[in-house]
Amino acid sequence: MSDEYFYDTKTGEVTQGRQTGWRHRMGPYATRGEAEKALEIAAGRNESWDGSQGPGTPEGDDD
Residue ranges per structural domain of the chain: 5-49
pLDDT in tens, 1-21: 789 999 999 999 999 999 888
What DSSP element (H or E) covers 26?
Answer: strand 25-29
Q: What is the pTM of this model?
A: 0.71
Q: Which residues pair with 15 in a beta bridge?
A: 6
Predicted local confidence at residue 28, as pLDDT: 97
Quick count: other Cβ atoms within 10 Å of Cβ 7? Answer: 25
CB–CB of 29/4 below 8 Å?
yes
Confidence of residue 31 (pLDDT cuts 50, 70, 90): very high
Nearest partner of 6 among 26, 20, 21, 30, judged by Cα: 26
Mean pLDDT within 10-37 = 95
Mean pLDDT within 15-29 = 93
CB–CB of 15/5 below 8 Å?
yes
